[in-house]
Amino acid sequence: MVSKENEDGAVITAWEAILTSNHRDGAGFRNSHWYWVMARTQPRPSAPLLIGASTRRVRARAARTFHSVSAADPCPFCTTVLSDPSCWMYANEHAVAFFDRYPSAPGHMLVIPRVHVSHVLDLARAEVDAVFDLALRCRAACTAPAATIGINDGPAAGQTVPHMHLHVIPRTLGDHPDPRGGVRWVLPETAAYFTK
């Protein structure tokens, strides 16, 4: 409760909880309605009292419109993958890796943060490091001679599940008639830069 004697301290405590919460209880604190309301409506605390977070990071997390997870519209990664460690191939403190349910190629894996955020810019530095650490482990375990590693960051980029995720897709010679340009083919008009 916010007391009159310690109003600023109570707000800072709430923000500290937002910045340090994780998926320890399955659905996680960040998925609750309170988190989204709190992040959008509470005043931003002064930077020196934050737990190593930059003021910019707090502003970015508070200002962005997140996909709010609810019982009517659950996140498939939060409800299925994060709640079932038996499907994980690799895991660390902040992320998990698992096989894609709809693989583009055999061995296609996804890496997701344990916190529910929609965009890569909403991750803390430790979470970014954890996601890329697992991406490297997935790539190292892949027996294919190549891989496409990428993130669809937002609906305009093709993101269909509103939980940030990174794809590691094994590639072999001949799986596409002309693989030159790779991910550039998401915008076909400019993909074939090598022919100009």
Q: Which of 67, 116, 163, 165 is catalytic?
A: 165
Between CA 185 and CA 136 the distance in angstroms is 23
pLDDT, residue 72, reads: 62
| Domains held by the chain: number | 2
Residue 192, φ and ψ in degrees, nearest 5? -85, 55
pLDDT, residue 23, reads: 35
pLDDT, residue 124, reads: 96
* Residue 165 is among the residues annotated as catalytic for this protein: yes
Same domain, 81 and 170: yes
Please tell me the total number of residues recorded for the chain in this structure. Answer: 196
The answer to whether position 157 is within a domain reads: yes
CATH number, domain with residue 107: 3.30.428.10
Same domain, 88 and 16: no
Between CA 129 and CA 119 the distance in angstroms is 15
Nearest residue to 61 via CA among 115, 107, 138, 100 = 115
Same domain, 49 and 22: yes
| Burial readout 105-122 (b: 16 or more C-beta within 10 A, e: otherwise) | eebbbbbbbbbbbbbbeb
Between CA 142 and CA 35 the distance in angstroms is 38
The domain of 117 spans: 76-176
**Tokens matching residue 187:** 């915008």
pLDDT, residue 6, reads: 39
pLDDT, residue 40, reads: 34
Mean pLDDT split into 10-residue runs, the chain, 196 residues = 36 34 38 34 36 40 46 84 96 98 96 97 97 98 96 95 97 93 87 80
Q: What are the C-alpha distances in Å from 33 to residues 23, 79, 168?
A: 15, 16, 32
pLDDT, residue 161, reads: 95
pLDDT, residue 135, reads: 98
Same domain, 13 and 101: no
Same domain, 48 and 106: no
pLDDT, residue 138, reads: 97
